[in-house]
């Protein structure tokens, strides 16, 4: 987990001037989780990835996941998510 946190912080530092759209952030999270799944073959992560898969209409295979993603973005934008590096 510490390696994951260090990697994310390194990416954040390198991209501090970059901005992602919600869609790009979602795809980045999906790509990250997919890499994790490929390394671990975790059934939980695989199930999450299946629920997060995007349909041809742009919606999520599981609409609840899309709603939860948008709620998570709102929490970050509101400042109610604590930076794990400061815990």
Condensed to tens digits (0 to 9), the pLDDT of residues 77-87 reads 898 887 777 65
The pTM is what? Answer: 0.70
Q: Which whole number is the average pLDDT over 43-52?
A: 95
Work out the number of other CB atoms within 10 angstroms of the CB of residue 52: 20
Lookup: tokens for 81: 């998510």
3-state SS string for 16-38: CCCCCCHHHHHHHHHHHHHHHHH
């Amino acid at each position: 987990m510490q390696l994951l946190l260090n990697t994310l912080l390194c990416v954040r530092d390198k991209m501090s001037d970059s901005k992602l759209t919600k869609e790009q952030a979602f795809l980045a999270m999906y790509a990250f989780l997919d890499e994790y799944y490929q390394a671990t073959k975790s059934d939980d992560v695989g199930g999450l990835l299946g629920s997060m898969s995007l349909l041809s209409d742009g919606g999520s295979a599981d609409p609840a996941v899309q709603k939860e993603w948008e709620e998570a973005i709102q929490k970050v934008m509101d400042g109610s998510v604590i930076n794990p590096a400061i815990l």
